A and B are shown apart, each in its own frame.
Chain A
Amino acid sequence: DAGVIQSPRHEVTEMGQEVTLRCKPISGHDYLFWYRQTMMRGLELLIYFNNNVPIDDSGMPEDRFSAKMPNASFSTLKIQPSEPRDSAVYFCASSASGAYTDTQYFGPGTRLTVL
């Protein structure tokens, strides 16, 4: 198993452009999490899904951010329009049975730079 797969690994874009980050969770995992990592704020949960349904999106910074999970094997995090302060590493993670009862497995992350 390749683990959680994220693409792209690096993204450089200009302010105002739309950015889409992609994630493929581990097969059979029911939970998917999106995190953002910055020097100032550390690792923050943005949103998580259970069985493709968003459960908690209270960490999503603002309306410019949106996340979808159209099926059990794919999720996207979209930023539109992007701003320089969105520059960060974005991680996707999945777990078999929830943040409480099971280990979260992280992807390699997408390093986003917004110029």
Chain B
Amino acid sequence: AQRVTQPEKLLSVFKGAPVELKCNYSYSGSPELFWYVQYSRQRLQLLLRHISRESIKGFTADLNKGETSFHLKKPFAQEEDSAMYYCALITQGGSEKLVFGKGTKLTVNP
């Protein structure tokens, strides 16, 4: 089954510290992976996608097929990074759809 696992429901770090939000996936083909973010009182929005190999707001994510992981990282967390983060996978074969992990709530303390 195609599945996304985010093992941490809550993650708390101090401002300036590195942060890593974990995401593991289960998928038989070549995965297309995304990170979505929801800031307080804002809409869920795309943060980054692995095919773009981009850095958004200082965040990067590298696809590791050997470990089936797509962890989100930032070297120096900021208070405005506090949000709910969702890892997501596009499923293929038949109709495509986005499958989300259950999310990790990141709190960056001053």
Chain A residues in contact with chain B, CB under 8 A? 3-4, 33, 41-45, 48, 55-56, 91, 93, 98-100, 103-109
Contacts and interface: CB of A to CB of B under 8 A. Distances in A.
Contacts, number: 47
A26 to B, nearest CB: 12
Interface centre among B32, B46, B92, B97 (most CB of A within 10 A): B97
Contacts of A43: 44, 86, 100, 102-103
A108 B38 CA distance: 10
Interface residues of B, number: 18
B43 interface: yes
B96 A100 contact: yes
A106 B43 contact: yes
A5 B22 CA distance: 32
A100 B100 contact: no
